[in-house]
Structure 1
């Protein structure tokens, strides 16, 4: 392949539109919000850059630390449930007959074709007191149960929304897995569990780590699902940030909270790169 330095005209022709888009709609707005995070609110509509760290210091108040901690463990639980459910799903798709794989993958990504707001309203119809799930439980003499406006409903909603982000990287890793390693382990006397634990799991670890990052980070910053399924009883840090930009109109503090989440994202990506460098498995 020719070096880009030998084809500068082609390089800039192809690269300029994407670079312009990222600059105008990502880097410049991001830099603007970064500056606002060091500003002070002087009126309802005006902020003044002072270089202050007060917004970041305020983020470590006890009330916000409690919300951040709650957001982290809800995101961890949702990610763990996604992993436990997605791993066998990805395995099933990989070992399914070739003619069924496209259809199974289509079923995984099919929810993306429907607006998130509509899917969340559908979950409300399923989990509410007179919803479909309680109706089915009533047929066997159970319920009705209060399934909405608590942490459990938020976790179930996050799992439903972000499950495909766990299935797809796992599928990509398992699909490229050399199955001769599994056959060799079984031929040498290893049990199914030993083969999975000592061979399959380490070889698919890059896909697991990628899936965890792709699910955990959006879960941590989610605000629509907790707002609609959790209400006032399950506020996450994403809800706090959303209210700072809207009802509270405190952009400096909202920006500081947003960048704290971004720093967590950078840390997760750095961890993923570190684990990928050490892993002997199939990277994705």
Structure 2
């Protein structure tokens, strides 16, 4: 009876998932593997995927993956120490610090990105300060560095939160035991803290890389439309060009890239979980 009740409660979720996940995905797959013939009918074809290997589009893929990779690395470099130091704080202070990272996420993503334009613009806050020293104005916007900065700002909390969660759940008895056995702080971090925090690191990398490789708002605003990324290319195909078939093919290709990345990350995650804390010496 209880099992039947549980199954009944799952039906709304199954219906919701079918309507808003499965059906749209099937529509995207349909457009990706079809083209319109002269009669206006859809026919099965790989032509949309063949167009992806055009040199111009391959440059877009390369740039998107490279910028997403750089932003992910920088989020890890900045996010891990922040998560580590917050995890060492008292729970009350740590909660306040984490809240400070979460609060900006309550604001609309578009507004958070727009906020950088009056800061970095030629008449923006930074150039106004530099003007007092007779410097500038400088063009900080519309380059790769600004796009990466926007990605780091928007996606850094996605790196900090999972690492912080793993670090706070770590058994302090392991750290104390390592110290009792003569390990210094660096050895404790290298042999215990870092390996045990890898699940959080892998989750953070996945959560940052996926939106970074598909973003289009950041590259459009902070890149000034001069940098076409995968997200911009898909948007153009659906809104400006009206080529839903090619846009769907790009979306499928991007999903494959993300799934491959997640599979690689899960391999590392499973390997690290088997190794545990490792050996001290």
Once the two structures are TM-superposed, the CA of residue 116 in structure 1 deviates from its matched residue by 1.1
Using the alignment, how far apart are the partners of 1:200 and 1:47 within structure 2? 61
Q: Deviations over 1:14-48 (max 9, x none)?
A: 111111111011100110110110111458xx974
In terms of mean alpha carbon deviation, does 190-199 or 14-23 score higher?
190-199
**Are residue 177 (structure 1) and residue 170 (structure 2) matched?**
yes
TM-score, L = length of structure 2: 0.91
1:196 equivalent among 180, 189, 200: 189
Indicate if the aligned counterparts of 1:40 and 1:47 stay in contact, CA closer than 8 A: no
- Three-state SS of the structure 2 residue aligned to 1:50 is strand
Q: Which residue of 1 aligns with 2:126?
A: 133
Indicate if the aligned counterparts of 1:174 and 1:204 stay in contact, CA closer than 8 A: yes
- Three-state SS of the structure 2 residue aligned to 1:99 is helix
Using the alignment, how far apart are the partners of 1:145 and 1:212 within structure 2? 33
**Are residue 249 (structure 1) and residue 242 (structure 2) matched?**
yes
Q: Deviations over 1:49-94 (max 9, x none)?
A: 3221111111111111111011111001111111111111111221
Using the alignment, how far apart are the partners of 1:47 and 1:12 within structure 2? 44
Once the two structures are TM-superposed, the CA of residue 8 in structure 1 deviates from its matched residue by 4.2
Once the two structures are TM-superposed, the CA of residue 198 in structure 1 deviates from its matched residue by 2.8
Indicate if the aligned counterparts of 2:159 and 2:205 stay in contact, CA closer than 8 A: yes
1:220 equivalent among 213, 219, 235: 213
Structure 1 residues 125 and 48: CA distance shift in structure 2, 3 A: farther
Indicate if the aligned counterparts of 2:127 and 2:137 stay in contact, CA closer than 8 A: yes
Indicate if the aligned counterparts of 1:38 and 1:49 stay in contact, CA closer than 8 A: no
Q: Which runs of 5+ in 2 are unaligned?
A: none
Q: Which runs of 5+ in 1 are unaligned?
A: 1-5
Q: Deviations over 1:149-194 (max 9, x none)?
A: 1111100001111111101110111111122333333444434333
**Are residue 38 (structure 1) and residue 33 (structure 2) matched?**
yes
1:1-284 equivalence runs, <5 A: 7-41=2-36, 48-140=41-133, 142-280=135-273, 281=276
Using the alignment, how far apart are the partners of 1:47 and 1:182 within structure 2? 68
Using the alignment, how far apart are the partners of 1:14 and 1:41 within structure 2? 42
Structure 1 residues 239 and 194: CA distance shift in structure 2, 3 A: same
